[in-house]
Amino acid sequence: MRVQKGIDLSRFILEEERRYPLASGTLSRILISIENATKIISSHIRKAGLVDVLGKVGRINVQGEEVQKLDELANNWLVEHLASTGDFFAVASEEMEKAFFPANGSDGKYVISLDPLDGSSNVDVNISVGTIFSIHKRISDDDASFLQEGRKQVAAGYVIYGSSTMLVYSTGNGVNGFTLDPAVGSFILSHPNIKLPERGKIYAFNESNYKRWSNGIRRYVDTVKEKGYTLRYVASMIADVHRTLLKGGIFAYPADNVNKNGKIRILYEANPLGFLIEQAGGIASNGNSSILDVKPESLHQRTPIFMGSKADMEELLAILKEG
Ligand code: AHM
Ligand code: MG
């Protein structure tokens, strides 16, 4: 397909579908539903501070984290919007302990994993947050459809609510980024065929965990500092990975002696963002293998994660191998 800068997202999705003569259009409809739901979320985030959407709900979620009002709202808007289409069989979300199987989706061919509002602890201080999505084919009538390797994703992407709102996604044919033009209300192709630089100059680790890391991780961070790399860490994975996609370098959330499996969740954080990083020519790993080859065992499973430019990742993985 000829990638045409300036084309709007809905048309782009339909043009992509035409590459597959047997496509039923369901995946396209799901992507367009995500597009519409995230426009609603974006519009509410843009007004946060003026309307009563900031602050905490006063409840702890399945992750043991305090639920922000916007977490709950974003989750409800996405789930309701997607459920109304009848196009998907089930949805798993960071904000829901169990998967949700909508009544009208019993014939649905796809399942979706969502982080409705990644980085939500940043929303009160006006820092970028985002929505992450991962779509797999349905292979069963239960949670097993969610517990497939990341490499089997049929589509994955995110919407970042930053200085502008951008939707970045891939169906396995490269990565394209669209910027929301608020005057028109459309996502417009602004970043066609995103490719990570072969090497970057940025490392994004929460270095306050230094003392808790393994020797290998510490040695890697010492090495990049000696080389003159700069530290950028937003603590919104979506913002750190978005910057990494465009500028290169490494984002990581390693295991440490408190968070034995790291902090990032496989289904709706590591897999979709890892898929985009690999589609853009980078590497995404749990330290031993590509994150996309790991078969998850539960919906909210955590994993150590390292992702970024190929040359930087190869150096990191070599150091980790030495132990
Ligand atoms: P969230 O999805 O509940 O916002 O949590 C995940 C976030 C990631 O976006 C970010 O990379 C990480 O937690 C930051 O953790 P820390 O504050 O420990 O550095
Ligand atoms: Mg998250």
The two tokens of residue 211 are 């003392």
The H-assigned helical ranges of the chain are 9-17, 26-47, 69-85, 215-226, 237-247, 271-279, 310-322
In whole angstroms, give the CA distance from residue 179 to residue 16: 18
The two tokens of residue 121 are 């602890």
Region label for 30, one of left (φ > 0), alpha (ψ between -120 and 50) or beta (otherwise)? alpha
In whole angstroms, give the CA distance from residue 310 to residue 291: 14
Mean pLDDT of the chain: 92
- The mean-pLDDT minimum among 8-17, 237-246, 291-300 falls in 8-17
Q: What is the pTM of this model?
A: 0.94
Count of CA atoms in the C-beta half-sphere (13 A) of 22: 0
Ligand 1 atom with minimal separation from the 253 CA: 11
- Give the pLDDT mean for 295-323: 97
Task: Please tell me the distance between residue 252's alpha carbon and the centre of ligand 2 in angstroms.
Answer: 14
More confident residue, 82 or 201: 201
Task: Please tell me the distance between residue 320's alpha carbon and the centre of ligand 2 in angstroms.
Answer: 25
Report which protein residue has its CA nearest ligand 1's atom 2: 118
pLDDT of residue 57: 67
Strands 186-191 and 202-204, bridge-based pairing: unpaired
- The mean-pLDDT minimum among 78-82, 177-181, 235-239 falls in 78-82
Ligand 1 atom with minimal separation from the 121 CA: 4
User: Residue 51 above 80 pLDDT?
Assistant: no
pLDDT band for 211, please (50, 70, 90 cuts): very high
| Cβ of 119 less than 6 Å from ligand 1 | yes
With the most atoms of ligand 1 within 8 angstroms of its CB, the residue from 121, 160, 305 to mutate is 121
| Cβ of 118 less than 6 Å from ligand 1 | yes
| Cβ of 206 less than 6 Å from ligand 1 | yes
In whole angstroms, give the CA distance from residue 48 to residue 301: 31
Distances in whole angstroms, Cα of residue 269 to Cα of each of 228, 299, 305, 322, 323: 29, 12, 10, 28, 26
Domains 9-191 and 202-322 share a fold: no
Strands 110-118 and 129-137, bridge-based pairing: antiparallel
Q: Is the domain defined by 202-322 classed in CATH 3.90.950.10? A: no
Count of CA atoms in the C-beta half-sphere (13 A) of 55: 7
Cβ atoms 316, 250 nearer than 8 A = yes
| Amino acid, res. 102 | P
The per-residue DSSP string of 130-171 comes to EEEEEEEE--SSSGGGTSS-GGG-SEEEEEEESSSEEEEEES
Q: Is the domain defined by 9-191 classed in CATH 3.30.540.10? A: yes
Task: Please tell me the distance between residue 26's alpha carbon and the centre of ligand 2 in angstroms.
Answer: 27
Closest ligand to the CA of 127: 1
User: Residue 62 above 80 pLDDT?
Assistant: no
In the chain, what percentage of residues exceed pLDDT 70?
95
pLDDT of residue 25: 86
| Amino acid, res. 212 | R
Ligand 1 atom with minimal separation from the 239 CA: 9
| Cβ of 70 less than 6 Å from ligand 1 | no
Ligand 1 atom with minimal separation from the 238 CA: 9
- Give the pLDDT mean for 1-30: 82
pLDDT of residue 58: 67
Q: Where are the domains of the chain?
A: 9-191, 202-322
User: Residue 128 above 80 pLDDT?
Assistant: yes
- Give the pLDDT mean for 125-146: 95
